[in-house]
Structure 1
Amino acid sequence: MIEMTISGREKELGGFSVRRLIPVAKKRLVGPFIFFDHMGPSTFAPGHGVDVRPHPHIGLATVTYLFDGEMDHRDSLGVHQTILPGDVNWMTAGRGIVHSERTGDAARAAGHDLHGIQTWVALPVEDEESPPSFHHHRSDDLPVIERDGVWMRLVLGNAYGETSPVQVFSPIFYLHAETEAGSIFKLTDEHEERAVYVVSGEIEIDGLLFGEGEMIVLDNEASIGVRTVKAARLMMCGGTPLAGDRHIFWNFVSSRRDRIEKAKQDWQSSADAGFKTSVFALPPDESEHIPLPS
């Protein structure tokens, strides 16, 4: 039933640590998911917070989902959106967008906790150069699925006969589950590729135990049963693999290496021009940016 298990790698990002699961050398994508970061849990004292300076993306959609805390999104389309637990921020980069992620003024002044998941969804080839856009969905708008001892929120796509209102570009599913000890459920089998990430707690799949920080990538053909050993919080994701390869450099994803090279040149030239006459623009009220890595 199990193709492989991935353990997160700690990485520092804008004043807090994240646990990165994919991509890894042996598993670049799960369905269209090409990037999966577990943020926190972190506690910020008053006066401190997250400051991820403006940076560019192409060829993907970003998805921010929080369990605790809040985060302010600003982008070059002029959007300023605070995301709260259970909400969905879906940002389509397409041919190019710039955004920042920061703690809002009130939360920074008071001190706050932050805990959540950030993912990137690679776009089909025909949508890689689509116009950039941003969509926010409140938690109340997302379908809830309940089984004995299992509560699930459908963040993206379709599963268990339900469909999320978030507009997506290819067959996909993304589920947040809270499970009680002793509960058993069958993982959705509507999608070709599937993975389960253990945010907290302990579960059993195919007689093996898995705990916090482990992603279990599952066999495409298997009917999967999940048993909760200790009350658990899970994120489950996957979908149909995209046609062709995907290349990734920094915040850029594309089916073409030359497109990534162009994005690198565009970001550097935009910075050199002070973001005045350039391909990439900064979000309103932002003056900083993250330089292109060497």
Structure 2
Amino acid sequence: MKHNTIKTIGTSEFVNMGPIRLRQPLPTQSIDMIDPFILLHHYGPYEISEAHNPFDLGPHPHRGFEPVTFLLQGEQLHRDSLGHESVVKSGDVQWTTAGRGIIHAEKPSAEFVKKGGIIEGIQLWLNLPSEKKMMPAAYQHAKREEFNVVISEDKKVHTRIVAGELNDLCGRIKTQTAVNAFMIEAQAGGEQSILFPKSHSAMLYLLKGKVTVNASETLELDQKQMIVFNQDGDGIHIEAASDSVLLFLSGEPLNEKVSTYGPYVMNTQTEIMEAMRDYQMGKMGFLPVN
């Protein structure tokens, strides 16, 4: 296997988003986007209780992309204008196709707030191609136990296939574009190779622990946390120096112009203005505050 060479190595700086503080490895001052991935937020861990609950995202719209949540710890209540209401638990993934428009809200479930605990997760924005930006909205919720898992030869690395394909096993999520999303849990000393198409943009983000990538670069919290790879190999190899958790993403670049504003990802500024107008006119549906 020829390893993909490393294009950039990034940190994961903290940013303020309203009342919460979170890590933002994408975008940064040096990386605008990794086509087709627009944004990556690593939120938490937050201590949640009845006296302290900063993570309450009330109803808000999206259009033109797929907002995805990988929940690492805790419980979140999801509601949307399509009528879905579900409790997303640790290890679950919610994959929303905003398409022409959806309104959703997320917050810790009332039961979780009452008992208290930790919430932590990843919010990913995956772009949609121009011909699918106005498709009907959709929502998928997959539970941790529903994912296919690739286990390394040494039995120390478990790779959950959220979307895409690895070692002839397929992901649970139906995607609109060619994309892989794997959640990797590695015990110290464990090794695993991750193969993916040469045409894909790819990145690896460290959530916990310390790993060596391609026997050359080390990812470690608060130092180097994300690697972006060139499109010049068959895959990558990881070796865990300590118990680690990582998110691997790869996707076929769309190579289209991107225009963003707030919760909208379109191709032109005119389409952004149309999205704002359609939301104000109620064309993206309705979701009451609760």
Same topology, TM > 0.5:
yes
Q: Once structures 1 and 2 are overlaid, which stretch shifts more, 238-247 or 41-50?
A: 41-50
The answer as to whether partners of 1:99 and 1:282 remain within 8 angstroms in 2 is no
Q: Could you tell me which runs of 5 or more consecutive residues in structure 1 were left unpaired when the two chains were aligned.
A: 271-277, 288-294
- In 2, Cα distance between equivalents of 1:9 and 1:57: 25
1:50-90 per-residue CA deviation (whole Å, 9 max, x = no partner) reads: 21111110001111111110111111112111101122211
- In 2, Cα distance between equivalents of 1:159 and 1:174: 10
Deviation at residue 112 of structure 1 after TM alignment = 1.7
The answer as to whether partners of 2:196 and 2:250 remain within 8 angstroms in 1 is no
- In 1, Cα distance between equivalents of 2:270 and 2:113: 41
The answer as to whether partners of 1:47 and 1:110 remain within 8 angstroms in 2 is no
What SS does the aligned partner of 2:173 have?
Answer: coil
- In 1, Cα distance between equivalents of 2:126 and 2:48: 29
Question: 211, 215, 220: which is aligned to 1:203?
Answer: 211
- In 2, Cα distance between equivalents of 1:188 and 1:215: 18
- In 1, Cα distance between equivalents of 2:74 and 2:185: 18
Q: Is 1:96 paired with 2:101?
A: yes
TM-score normalised per structure 1: 0.88
Question: 219, 228, 238: which is aligned to 1:217?
Answer: 228
The answer as to whether partners of 2:206 and 2:221 remain within 8 angstroms in 1 is yes
1:199-278 to 2 correspondences below 5 Å: 199-206=207-214, 207-212=216-221, 214-222=225-233, 223-267=235-279, 269-270=280-281, 278=282
Q: Is 1:135 paired with 2:140?
A: yes
- In 2, Cα distance between equivalents of 1:230 and 1:104: 32
Count of residues in Structure 1 that have an aligned counterpart in Structure 2: 278
Match of 1:155 in 2: 162
Deviation at residue 18 of structure 1 after TM alignment = 1.6
Q: One-letter code of the match for 2:218?
A: L
Deviation at residue 41 of structure 1 after TM alignment = 1.2
Q: Could you tell me which runs of 5 or more consecutive residues in structure 2 were left unpaired when the two chains were aligned.
A: none
Match of 2:190 in 1: 183
- In 1, Cα distance between equivalents of 2:52 and 2:86: 20
Q: One-letter code of the match for 1:73?
A: H
Match of 2:21 in 1: 17
Q: Is 1:86 paired with 2:91?
A: yes
What SS does the aligned partner of 1:230 have?
Answer: coil
- In 2, Cα distance between equivalents of 1:152 and 1:84: 18
Deviation at residue 224 of structure 1 after TM alignment = 2.4
Question: 24, 32, 56: which is aligned to 1:28?
Answer: 32
Q: One-letter code of the match for 1:171?
A: A
The answer as to whether partners of 1:8 and 1:20 remain within 8 angstroms in 2 is yes
- In 2, Cα distance between equivalents of 1:103 and 1:15: 15
CA distance 1:178–1:193, shift in 2 (3 Å): same
Q: Which runs of 4+ in 1 moved over 4 A?
A: none
Question: 168, 182, 193: which is aligned to 2:201?
Answer: 193
What SS does the aligned partner of 2:275 have?
Answer: helix
CA distance 1:77–1:189, shift in 2 (3 Å): closer
TM-score normalised per structure 2: 0.89
Among all aligned residue pairs of Structure 1 and Structure 2, give the percentage whose two residues are the same amino acid: 26
Match of 2:7 in 1: 3
- In 1, Cα distance between equivalents of 2:77 and 2:253: 31
- In 2, Cα distance between equivalents of 1:143 and 1:108: 31
Q: One-letter code of the match for 2:217?
A: L
- In 1, Cα distance between equivalents of 2:193 and 2:220: 18
Deviation at residue 97 of structure 1 after TM alignment = 0.8
- In 2, Cα distance between equivalents of 1:197 and 1:221: 19
The answer as to whether partners of 1:15 and 1:51 remain within 8 angstroms in 2 is no
Q: One-letter code of the match for 1:6?
A: G
1:48-59 to 2 correspondences below 5 Å: 48-49=52-53, 50-59=55-64
Question: 41, 45, 48: which is aligned to 1:41?
Answer: 45
Q: Once structures 1 and 2 are overlaid, which stretch shifts more, 246-255 or 205-214?
A: 205-214
Q: Once structures 1 and 2 are overlaid, which stretch shifts more, 166-175 or 12-21?
A: 12-21
- In 1, Cα distance between equivalents of 2:209 and 2:202: 20
